């Protein structure tokens, strides 16, 4: 044991080696990668991932990522598959078989059974000439020049490369499917992530009597009373036909004061921001938040059938855990 060991240098070396391993994957995004994506997209069942040891641990994470991004997937332990769990795999499935050496007995022993069922096998190995690589319908090369382990024994760079290749598959499939944020949310309903992705503007907005509104002819002093009573730091400006004319915010008030405006005689129409930024009540709150952040504003008017129906603020987002 050496307490004076240069831990920082060792950590940096590990990161550099794994960075190189990831960078080398770019050249492996080839026809086999495209074929793997097409096999999975055409799959009428589920993606079954199998692997032993550290490959198995990485396989479980890849299965979880696929399942949460629109590709139904689960992990099967290859040893258990030989003792009954093969019954979990159907003719409609696609199998991703993982082994860095490509010669792991528990994995390669499944190949004849999978071939008999005519199940597409996507092999993921670090040895393109191995039994598993040659036995698959397509092969994803996750070979590395060296493990970060100085003994070149503990799977480190190779497991990182495998994980990244799995992420590349999952995201390519997500984009090809046109998978949406709302669909993602249904796989993550719990906690702040679920709130951020599932809540819609209509759930959080202030509507009915809670929505501040004044006429364009309203004196500024009277409009300020509305702004204060509703507590949103703004008010909508709506004509007698119910059409949105604009909004009046704290920023508009500061500009009015700076310009020496007579607050007792000025009508709100001359001081408001014409139009204002709007949103749809059925839009995800997270998307509305992006509009606020992009435009550096604190509130949006929700519009339905061309009429203002509510107001949502940055504070509402904060209270709901969207931020």
H or E segment at 248?
strand 244-249
Strand partners, 113: none
What is the block-wise mean pLDDT of the chain (323 residues), using blocks of 10 residues?
87 95 96 97 96 96 92 94 87 96 95 94 96 96 92 89 96 88 63 68 94 94 92 94 93 87 85 92 89 92 95 90 77
The DSSP H or E segment spanning 12 is: helix 7-23
Do residues 280 and 243 share a domain?
Answer: yes
Which residue do the tokens 């190995």 mark? 125
CATH code where residue 171 lies: 3.40.50.10490
128 and 205 share one domain = no
Three-class SS state of 191: helix
Q: Are 61 and 87 in contact, with CB atoms under 8 Å apart? A: no
Q: What is the pLDDT of residue 83?
A: 83
Per the structure, how many domains does the chain have? 2
C-beta of residue 62 within 8 angstroms of C-beta of residue 170: yes
User: What are the tokens at 287?
Assistant: 């998307």
Please give the pLDDT value at position 207: 95
pLDDT at residue number 181: 66
Give the three-state DSSP class for 26. Answer: helix
**Shared domain check, 131 and 72:** yes
Q: What are phi and psi of 249, to 5 degrees?
A: -120, 175
Q: Report how far residue 159's alpha carbon sits from residue 142's, in angstroms, rounded to the nearest whole number.
A: 9
Half-sphere exposure of 56 (CA within 13 A, CB side): 12
- pTM of this prediction? 0.65
**Full residue range of the structural domain in which residue 166 is found:** 7-179
What's the pLDDT at 111? 95
pLDDT of residue 104: 96
Residue 143, pLDDT score:
95
Q: Say what the pLDDT of residue 95 is.
A: 97
* Residues contacting residue 68 through CB under 8 Å, at least 6 positions apart: 184, 187, 188
Check whether residue 79 and residue 139 sit in a common domain: yes
Q: For residue 272, what are its two tokens?
A: 């408001």
The DSSP annotation for 125-139 comes to ES-TTSHHHHHSSEE
Shared-domain flag, residues 171 and 208: no
């Amino acid at each position: 044991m050496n307490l004076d060991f240069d831990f920082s240098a060792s950590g940096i070396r590990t990161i550099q080696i794994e960075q190189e391993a990831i960078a080398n994957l770019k050249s492996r995004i080839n026809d086999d990668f495209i074929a793997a994506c097409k096999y999975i997209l055409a799959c009428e069942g589920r993606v079954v991932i199998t692997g032993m040891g550290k490959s198995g641990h990485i396989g479980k994470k890849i299965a979880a990522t696929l399942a949460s991004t629109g590709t139904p997937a689960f992990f099967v332990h290859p040893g258990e598959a030989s003792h009954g769990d093969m019954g979990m795999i159907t003719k409609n499935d696609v199998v991703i078989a993982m082994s860095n050496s490509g010669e792991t007995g528990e994995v390669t022993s499944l190949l004849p059974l999978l071939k008999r069922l005519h199940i597409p096998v996507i092999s993921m190995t670090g040895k393109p000439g191995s039994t598993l690589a040659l036995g698959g319908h397509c092969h994803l090369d996750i070979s590395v020049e060296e493990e970060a382990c100085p003994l070149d024994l503990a799977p480190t760079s190779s497991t990182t490369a495998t994980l990244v290749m799995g992420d590349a598959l999952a995201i390519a499939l997500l984009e090809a499917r046109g998978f949406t944020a709302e669909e993602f949310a249904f796989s993550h309903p719990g906690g702040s992530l679920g709130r951020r992705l599932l809540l819609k503007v209509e759930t959080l907005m202030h509507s009915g009597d809670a929505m501040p509104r004044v006429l364009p002819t309203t004196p500024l002093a009277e409009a300020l009373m509305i702004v204060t009573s509703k507590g949103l730091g703004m008010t909508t400006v709506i004509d007698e036909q119910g059409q949105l004319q604009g909004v009046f915010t704290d920023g508009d008030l500061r500009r009015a004061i700076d310009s020496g405006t007579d607050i007792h005689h000025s009508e709100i129409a001359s001081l408001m921001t014409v139009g204002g930024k709007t949103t749809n009540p059925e839009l995800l709150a997270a998307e509305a938040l992006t509009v606020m952040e992009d435009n550096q504003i604190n509130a949006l008017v929700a519009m339905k059938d061309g009429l203002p129906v509510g107001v949502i603020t940055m504070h509402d987002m904060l209270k709901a855990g969207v931020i």
